[in-house]
Amino acid sequence: MEAGTLLSGAASVAAVLPAGGSGERLGSATPKQFCALLGRPLISYTVRALERINWISDIVVVVSLENIETMKSIIEKYGHKRITVVEGGMTRHRSIFNGLKIFPESKLSSCPLQKPEVVIIHDAVRPFVEEDILLKVVLAAKEHGAAGAIRPLVSTVVASSADGSLDHSLERARYRASEMPQAFLFDIIYQAYHQCSDYDLDYGTECLHLALKYCKTNAKLIEGSPDLWKVTYKRDLYAAESIIKDNLSQQVCVTTDMKEDAVQFGFLLHETLKSEVKQVKGISVFLCKNDNHLQNIFLGQCYNFICINAEKSDIKETQQLVDILENSRISVLHPVVLISVHLNVSENMSFRSGMEELAGIKEFAREVKKKNILVYGLLIHYNKGQIVLTRRTIDEGRKRR
């Protein structure tokens, strides 16, 4: 079921991303949320993960005073939308509180932000948050007042006595690590922050605890995925970069023009990719003019495209796809790879003359490279009879399954 349907009748949802820390444990002069992963600041990945969810109306990013301009320039450069930047506090709790205070208490206020029914709180340094866990915590917060993602403990928790020796240890199976995202009925968490002590604001590390202590709200705990971990140490930056690379290679979109040969070839390629290339999700779109379908693919973070053209020298389809890619602005976030496949069905045409006819793609590729779209041309000689035979084999294989 669509997230929008699950949330139907539900009021608005906004998010607060605390990003006002200095990243002491990471030990770099640049706070970790502004460190580059494949050339793009970590915080831009987290913002994007929330921004692509259409049922989140506003995203408040809380940064320290000296990083407000940096954050604004990141928003501008990567085209982030629905973002409000707010000045942070000395501790994470104080930053979150500042983020919450931006929502007006009264509807009459001139502030463009509306107080949401549910607010998500998510650390800016946890870039791999997915829509399903966000939806789960939001729905649970609506029902229980508060909810948060948890993970099994990796190590046992022990307490030491004053002389540094073991006092006691906790039974690991009974405890969980509290992660993010968390979600709250806005009024609950706002009241909790208003009522909590300076000690809580300065030394507390757990928002769910504030809701329990000050509003008697027992949060619902929801099992999250391993990717929710928080970038804390330098090695986490390397791990995050590897995950991003891996994610980028997981999806490919095959588009074809409407000619029979191209559609047939696209079908076969799609099947081959699905069954032979382990980490590629094959998505086939017949006819790339279908904007809505393609927009959904972009939202799914697809950066690899194979555009199949029945004509060996015609690059119109490829140009059209590049236009759509440009308009979607996804190449601002990552380089997009587009392989323009041209089929040579003529038996009389030599490969060399086919290549000469396709030469125009070189100039086109040079132009669009400036827009971070990497176009490669591929001329393929193929035997139609053989393709029909292979397709029949695939169809029969399916029936047998």
Ligand X SMILES: O=C(CO)[C@H](O)[C@H](O)COP(=O)(O)O
Ligand Y SMILES: Nc1ccn([C@@H]2O[C@H](COP(=O)(O)OP(=O)(O)OP(=O)(O)O)[C@@H](O)[C@H]2O)c(=O)n1
Which residue ranges make up the site for ligand X (CB under 6 A)?
92, 123, 178-180, 205-206, 230
> Binding-site residue total for ligand Y (CB under 6 A)?
22
127 binds ligand Y (CB under 6 A): no
Alpha helix ranges (H) inside 258-359: 260-276, 291-299, 316-328, 351-357
Could you say which of 91, 178, 256, 284 contacts ligand Y (CB under 6 A)? 91
Residue 179: CB minimum distance to ligand X, A: 5
61 binds ligand Y (CB under 6 A): no
Considering beta carbons, is residue 84 or 178 the nearer one to ligand X?
A: 178
Sign of CA dihedral 31, 33, 34, 38: positive
Which pair of structure tokens corresponds to residue 264? 């047939």
Q: Rg of the chain's alpha carbons, rounded to an integer?
A: 26
Residue 369's binding partner out of ligand Y, ligand X, none, with CB under 5 to 8 Å set by partner kind: none
Which pair of structure tokens corresponds to residue 252? 């490919």
Q: Distance between CA 234 and CA 182 in Å, rounded? A: 25
Q: Distance between CA 255 and CA 324 in Å, rounded? A: 12
Considering beta carbons, is residue 30 or 319 the nearer one to ligand Y?
A: 30
Residue 150: CB minimum distance to ligand X, A: 9
Q: Which amino acid is at 33?
A: Q
Number of H helices, E strands in the chain: 15, 16
Residue 179's binding partner out of ligand Y, ligand X, none, with CB under 5 to 8 Å set by partner kind: ligand X
Query: Cis link prior to 112 (omega < 30° from 0)?
Result: no
Residue 24's binding partner out of ligand Y, ligand X, none, with CB under 5 to 8 Å set by partner kind: ligand Y
Considering beta carbons, is residue 62 or 294 the nearer one to ligand X?
A: 62
Residue 206's binding partner out of ligand Y, ligand X, none, with CB under 5 to 8 Å set by partner kind: ligand X
Residue 395's binding partner out of ligand Y, ligand X, none, with CB under 5 to 8 Å set by partner kind: none
* C-alpha separations of 224 from 49, 55, 162, 229 in Å: 16, 20, 35, 10
Could you say which of 92, 142, 220, 270 contacts ligand Y (CB under 6 A)? 92
- Give Cα 280 to chain centroid, integer Å: 17
22 binds ligand Y (CB under 6 A): yes
Q: Distance between CA 128 and CA 244 in Å, rounded? A: 9
Task: Give contact residues for ligand Y (rule: CB under 6 A).
Answer: 18-25, 31, 33, 62, 88-92, 95, 123-125, 230, 232
